[in-house]
Structure 1
Amino acid sequence: MDFMVSAETDIGIVKNTNQDSLSVKIIDTYQGRMAFAIVCDGMGGLQKGEVASATVIKAFDKWVNEQLPILTRQTLDQSVIFSQWKDIISGQNEIIGRYGDSQGIKLGTTVVAMLITQSECYIINVGDSRAYIINDDINQITQDQTFIAREIALGHMTPEQAKTDRRRNVLLQCVGASEKVYPDVFYLKSDINTVYMLCSDGLRHEITQEEIYTKLKPELLISNDIMTQNSKDLIELNKERMERDNISVALIRTF
């Protein structure tokens, strides 16, 4: 199994700063090729959200460059991967929190990260950036850590009510602004001829999952140029519908 990847981000139509950060790469390892992607949506006073998101990206990139080669010398253990990822997030939560205290501001970031091997897929999530799997249809893998997602789960709110609720962007936790962070982790088998998508919440407020699927289904994404263009098309569609947030999408396509 091999991979194609793409990453696109846009400042959007309102904000002065793009506080999203993302990274996607293909890695050659002792266990064959792998792909890694991460999206972080920063937030904070004095336009410092980009500091939080970029800091977490750098920490995970360091793990890919330094720790993953060590782990792939033997059979991968999902408990080890998730433990190391949780340690990264916990450490970054403290570092960003201390920086915010020193500057007299609150800042933080969501994080959704994914590693795809020749047979497995590992995902970690904090906040409301999302991971999707796209093959015969499109399905959300992660669960939003937001006030309204919790209210819907508890039966206190319907999905239709949530779409217009003014608290729809209120996070239950994020890296850097929470005393403790409790990531969700997800494990599934990887599959050929499948698209894996990570995105910030700016990609999904104004367009439907069906519209995303129409542009990103595997049979369409036969080249990097098409992956890039179709991602840009979705970003532009969001902007046409007056999405106010930064917009980011990272894709891994297996073949």
Structure 2
Amino acid sequence: MNYLVSASTDVGIKKTTNQDSLTVKTIETDNGYFAFAVMCDGMGGLQKGELASATVVKAFTDWLYMNRNRIFRENMEDSIIRNEWEQLVKEQNRKIMDYGRRNGVSLGTTATVMLLTEYRYYILNVGDSRAYEITEEIRQLTEDQTVVAREVRFGRMTEEEARQDLRRNVLLQCIGASGDVYPDMFFGETKKDAVYMLCSDGFRHQITAEEIRSMLNPSVLLDTGSMKRSEEYLIDLNKRRMETDNISIVTIRTF
């Protein structure tokens, strides 16, 4: 499996600080290539949300480089990734909470992490950043950890009601602001000639799933230039529709 990767971020039309942090990488080992991406949406006063999101991105990036050869050398079962990533999240949660207590501030971050190998994808999610798989169709791979998403899952609210509800941005948990954090994990088969996309919630509030699919499907994203242009078009579309949050996206094209 080979990969093309791209990423774009924008502070948006209202905020003065971009509290989103992200990374996307392709890594070569003796046994093949894989792709890795992290999307974190920080929250907190001043630049503290940016600190929380950047801290978690760095922690997962450090994990990647410490384990890059082991990922292919060993049979990386789902349970191994789950245990290591869950432990990493718990450590970062304690670290950020301790920082907040010492400095008298409240801060936290979402996290969506994706590892793509030739045959399998691994995703961790805390909060309401998302991962998608885009082919001829668009499929959300993660579940939002929000009040309204929980209500929809329990049948107490429709999708349309959730989009209009004032609580749509209220998280059930995030890293650094919850006593205990329980990440969701998702696993599946990596598809060839597909696009895998991570985004902060600011990227998706003002645009539809069909608009995302039409601009980010694999027949459109043929090289890194077209990937960047499509990302920037959708970011600009969000801004024209008055999205006030930071707006961030990562795309990975398999071939």
TM-score scaled by length of structure 2: 0.98
Deviation at 1:29, TM superposition (A): 1.8
Question: How do residues 66-105 of structure 1 correspond to structure 2 at under 5 angstroms?
Answer: 66-105=66-105
One-letter amino acid of the structure 2 residue matched with residue 214 of structure 1: S
Deviations 1:115-161 (A, max 9, x none): 00011100000000000000020010100000000111122222111
Question: How do residues 93-132 of structure 1 correspond to structure 2 at under 5 angstroms?
Answer: 93-132=93-132
Counterpart Cα distance in 2 of 1:128 and 1:31 = 34
Deviations 1:80-120 (A, max 9, x none): 11111111111000000000111111100000000000111
RMSD of aligned alpha carbons: 0.9
Counterpart Cα distance in 1 of 2:190 and 2:55 = 28
Partner SS, residue 38 of structure 1: strand
Counterpart Cα distance in 2 of 1:153 and 1:70 = 37
Counterpart Cα distance in 2 of 1:130 and 1:30 = 31
Question: How do residues 35-184 of structure 1 correspond to structure 2 at under 5 angstroms?
Answer: 35-184=35-184
Counterpart Cα distance in 2 of 1:123 and 1:29 = 21
One-letter amino acid of the structure 2 residue matched with residue 190 of structure 1: T
> Which 4+ runs in 1 deviate beyond 4 A?
none
Figure out how many residues of one structure are paired with residues of the other and give that number: 255
In the other structure, the counterpart of 1:212 is 212
One-letter amino acid of the structure 1 residue matched with residue 135 of structure 2: N
In the other structure, the counterpart of 1:21 is 21
Deviations 1:1-36 (A, max 9, x none): 200000110000000100000000000123310000
Partner SS, residue 67 of structure 1: helix
In the other structure, the counterpart of 1:229 is 229
Counterpart Cα distance in 2 of 1:99 and 1:2 = 40
Deviations 1:207-227 (A, max 9, x none): 000000110010111110000
> Structure 1, unaligned stretches of length 5 or more?
none
Counterpart Cα distance in 2 of 1:154 and 1:76 = 34
TM-score scaled by length of structure 1: 0.98
> Structure 2, unaligned stretches of length 5 or more?
none
